[in-house]
Amino acid sequence: MTKNVIEAEALTKVYGDLTAVNHVSLSVEKGALYGLLGPNGSGKSTMIKMLTGQIRPTAGSATVLGIDTQSDPVGVRERVGIIPEQETPPSFLTATEYLQFVGAIRKVPDIDEKAVWWFDFLDFSDKKDVLCKDLSRGTRQKLMFVQAFIHKPGLALIDEPLINFDPIMQHVVKDYLRDYVKAGNTIFISTHILEIAEEICSGFAILHKGNLLHTGTVADLTADHRHLDEFFLSLVQRVPHA
């Protein structure tokens, strides 16, 4: 039996009068490329922040790689790779210095050699000595992608992984993500871009207004001759507007 790397039970996050996430339970198996799907403001980023111990849930519980996210949030973040929503590298460091900093924190051996590989792979070697504040949005996204994977985590949680990439880089990154899970790792992404989710994800959950509407697999949709976008809209459009 495959062990689940993510187990969420009735996770809830309330901000004042707003329930951002409402009693969401889901499981993610080892080796999955799992997509958390929903419109903007559906609670996807809040879910990732709770799963990575960045914020505490109002109610419910979760374990990630067997670690309780509330009792040991630092332990979770030490084990996983994370690309948060709108996170940017420190403005006062160059791209190389930032990866050296990440390498020191993560205790990554041969960090300079690994950084060179990534600069070449994502085609931004010419920016390695540029201050992060002077990098383009797309290049900062490349750098954040590298910091999430340079220590080869067994699980990576990524908020909108392709949002700032051009079509060529999207192709490169999608292939990398596919190969990464084929090697036995797990990736959990949140996105509202349904075409990407249908192309690369094995399993998915649909979140809308903080509520979990469905969990399933892309293979089941394909077998039923349905596309993810039409299935998504059929669920979301049934939900009354607030």
- Write down which residue in 127, 152, 177 finishes a domain: 152
Q: Of 124, 152, 180, which residue constitutes the final position of a domain?
A: 152
* First and final C-alpha spacing in the chain: 41
Q: Does the structure show a pLDDT above 60 at 42?
A: yes
CA Rg value for the chain: 18
Task: Give yes or no: residues 159 and 208 share one domain.
Answer: yes
Contact 184, 153 (CB under 8 A): no
Residue 242 has pLDDT above 80, yes or no: no
Cα dihedral sign, 129-134-136-141: positive
DSSP classification of residue 127: G
- Domain's final residue, options 133, 152, 171: 152
Q: Are residues 148 and 159 in the same domain?
A: no
pTM of the entire predicted model: 0.92
pLDDT at 1 over 50: no
**Domain that residue 116 falls in:** 87-152
Q: Tell whether 104 and 214 lie within a shared domain.
A: no
Taking only the tens place, the pLDDT of each residue in 78-114 is 999 999 877 778 889 999 999 999 999 999 999 999 9
Long-range contacts of 178-181 (CB under 8 A, 24+ apart): 178/33, 180/149, 180/156, 181/31, 181/32, 181/33
Domain count, the chain: 2
Tell me: do 57 and 8 sit in the same domain.
Answer: yes
Do 130 and 179 have their domain in common? no
